[in-house]
């Protein structure tokens, strides 16, 4: 028992630190603080709800299927899959940005609440897991069958964004208050 | 022969590290780390003399100094935490809680008992248990540093990476190493320290300041308000989830 626990702890630590070394994560952090990656910023443009519904809608699929043209059907599937994967990547980039901004604001708060932070982090992990699952499911089955799950992820993501907005509004209000005082 | 090579390489690298530390005055900035290195150098020299004296004395000296080294290593971890999080009280609080959880979990899971801390247990088994707890503590800290985007200067990053990789490798080796034979794991166990020394020497050649946060946000009162809003939103999310699963 102790042997396997040691092995797991050692292996995870070693792998994580090797990733830190090779990816230069801790070293690159300050650059990210000063100037967020512009490519990621571009990806932050929210996708309209109608577009998301369209990506995962069965109506277009049924229309194309009605044409009874195999080549168009395949082309449609490929394109839809590509668009759906871009949407998933965009959503997960938004979630990561929200989490990064939260962490950057919270790390300097002296009375930060441990359990709240754990809750937010757990929610972040859940969302990232949902996005990962979605991505794999889209690769395997295509986006048309995943409408329900996608909407669920979208709504969860929006809730986290709202949370973040309220957090930011609070910090701005305080900063303004301090400036006047 | 290989053991001797590893031992003498360690001594040379430790000396080089101490000399560069004093020259660049890094030894005054990271006192716990340099005390640890000085102690390990002393340990190496003592064990060489003990080995010439008698095998039994060597074993006793080796394990006694090994555990002192382990305790000093823990101080290095606390130093990393203290220096890197000085400007981040929020993350420092999280780190204190995370470390408390790691140690409490270790105690609750009966790590010392399951490791066989009885009269019959070997020093190797005890070291394995303690190193595992140390590895878990470092792991928790590294995750926190990544989550909260804590910027690290070259010096502090080197200390953390070197010590973390050394502990990770040592914990893996301790799971396989045999007390009787000098097999691959025995040499890997000894060589892990050489790798850490090399990394430290590369990162601690000269002083480089740690980056400081650009904006100082005062959130003392707001965090309470936001925390309440967060909890409310989370409850809503939980209800939404339950509804989604139930439908």
CB B200 within 8 A of CB B164: no
CB B11 within 8 A of CB B45: yes
Q: With contacts defined as CB-CB under 8 Å, which chain B residues touch A173? A: 222
CB B52 within 8 A of CB B4: no
Closest residue in B to A149 (Cα) is B244
Where are the extended beta strands (E) located within A61-170? none
Q: Does A112 touch chain B (CB under 8 A)?
A: yes
Closest residue in A to B232 (Cα) is A163
Interface of B with A in 119-178 (CB under 8 A): 125, 128-129, 131-132, 135-136, 138-139, 142-143, 145-152, 154, 157, 161, 164-165, 167-172, 174-175
Ramachandran class of A36: left when φ > 0, alpha when ψ lies in -120 to 50, beta otherwise: beta
What percentage of chain A has pLDDT greater than the value 70? 66
Q: What is the pLDDT of residues A131-155, one digit of tens each?
A: 788 788 888 877 766 666 666 666 7
Q: Of B119, B101, B85, which is closest to residue B213 (Cα–Cα)? A: B85
Token pair belonging to A31: 């650059």
B223:A111 CB<8 A: yes
Q: What is the pLDDT of residues A85-128, one digit of tens each?
A: 887 787 777 777 777 777 777 787 877 878 888 888 888 888 77
Q: With contacts defined as CB-CB under 8 Å, which chain A residues touch B150? A: 26, 29, 107
Q: What is the pLDDT of residues B35-71, one digit of tens each?
A: 999 999 998 898 888 888 887 888 888 888 888 888 8
Q: How far apart, in Å, are the Cα atoms of A8 and each of A21, A131, B130, B138, B168?
A: 20, 26, 14, 14, 10
CB atoms closer than 10 angstroms to residue B96: 13
ipTM: 0.71
The residues near B15 (Cβ < 8 Å, ≥ 6 apart) are B41
Q: How far apart, in Å, are the Cα atoms of B90 and each of A69, A109, A110, B97?
A: 60, 5, 5, 11
Q: What is the pLDDT of residues A12-35, one digit of tens each?
A: 888 888 888 777 776 645 444 444
> Cα separation of B26 and B40, whole Å?
18
CB A156 within 8 A of CB B204: no
Give the per-residue SS3 of chain B: CHHHHHHHHHHHHHHHHHHHHHHCCHHHHCHHHHHHHHHHHHHHHHHHHHHHHCHHHHHHHHHHHHHHHHHHHHHHHHHHHHHHCCCCHHHHHHHHHHHHHHHHHHHHCCHHHHCCCCCCCCHHHHHHHHHHHHHHHHHHHHHHHHHCCCCCCHHHHHHHHHHHHHHHHHHHHHHHCCCCCCCHHHHHHHHHHHHHHHHHHHHCCCCCCCCCCCCCCCCHHHHHHHHHHHHHHHHHHHHHHHHHHHC
> Cα separation of B74 and B103, whole Å?
12
Average of per-residue pLDDT values in chain B: 80
Q: What is the pLDDT of residues B117-171, one digit of tens each?
A: 554 456 777 788 888 888 999 999 999 988 888 888 889 899 999 999 999 988 8
Please give the helix or strand (H or E) that residue A35 lies within, else none: none
Q: Does A125 touch chain B (CB under 8 A)?
A: no
CB B155 within 8 A of CB B25: no
């Amino acid at each position: 028992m102790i042997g396997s626990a040691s092995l797991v702890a050692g292996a995870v630590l070693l792998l994580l630190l090797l990733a830190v070394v090779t990816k230069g994560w801790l070293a690159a952090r300050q650059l990210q603080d000063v100037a967020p990656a512009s490519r990621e910023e571009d990806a932050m443009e929210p996708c309209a709800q109608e577009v998301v519904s369209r990506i995962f809608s069965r109506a277009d699929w049924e229309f194309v299927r009605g044409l009874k043209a195999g080549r168009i059907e395949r082309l449609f599937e490929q394109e839809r899959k590509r668009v759906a994967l871009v949407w998933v990547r965009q959503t997960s980039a938004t979630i990561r940005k929200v989490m990064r901004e939260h962490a950057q604001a919270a790390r300097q708060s002296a009375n930060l609440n441990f359990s709240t932070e754990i809750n937010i982090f757990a929610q972040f992990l859940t969302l990232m897991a949902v996005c990962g699952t979605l991505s794999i499911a889209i690769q395997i089955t295509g986006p048309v069958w995943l409408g329900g799950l996608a909407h669920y992820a979208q709504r969860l993501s929006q809730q986290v964004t709202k949370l973040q907005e309220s957090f930011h509004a609070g910090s701005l209000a305080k900063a303004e208050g301090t400036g006047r005082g | 022969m290989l053991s001797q090579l590893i031992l003498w390489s360690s001594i040379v690298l430790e000396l080089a590290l101490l000399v560069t530390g004093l020259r660049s005055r890094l030894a005054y900035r990271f006192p716990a780390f340099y005390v640890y290195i000085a102690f390990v150098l002393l340990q190496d020299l003592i064990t060489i003399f003990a080995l010439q004296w008698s095998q039994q004395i060597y074993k006793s000296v080796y394990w006694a100094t090994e555990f002192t080294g382990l305790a000093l290593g823990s101080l290095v971890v606390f130093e990393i935490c203290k220096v890197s999080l000085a400007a981040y009280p929020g993350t420092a609080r999280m780190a204190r809680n995370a470390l408390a959880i790691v140690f409490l979990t270790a105690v609750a899971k009966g790590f010392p008992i399951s490791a066989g801390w009885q009269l019959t247990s070997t020093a190797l088994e005890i070291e394995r248990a303690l190193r595992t707890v140390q590895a878990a503590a470092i792991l928790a800290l590294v995750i926190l540093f990544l989550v909260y985007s804590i910027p690290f200067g070259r010096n502090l990053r080197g200390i953390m990476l070197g010590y973390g990789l050394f502990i990770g490798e040592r914990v893996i080796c301790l799971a396989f190493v045999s007390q009787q034979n000098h097999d691959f794991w025995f040499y890997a166990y000894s060589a892990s320290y050489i790798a850490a020394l090399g990394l430290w020497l590369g990162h601690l050649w000269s002083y480089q300041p740690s980056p400081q946060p650009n904006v100082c946000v005062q959130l003392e009162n707001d965090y309470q308000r936001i925390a309440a809003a967060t909890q409310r939103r989370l409850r809503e999310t939980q209800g939404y989830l339950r509804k989604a699963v139930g439908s």
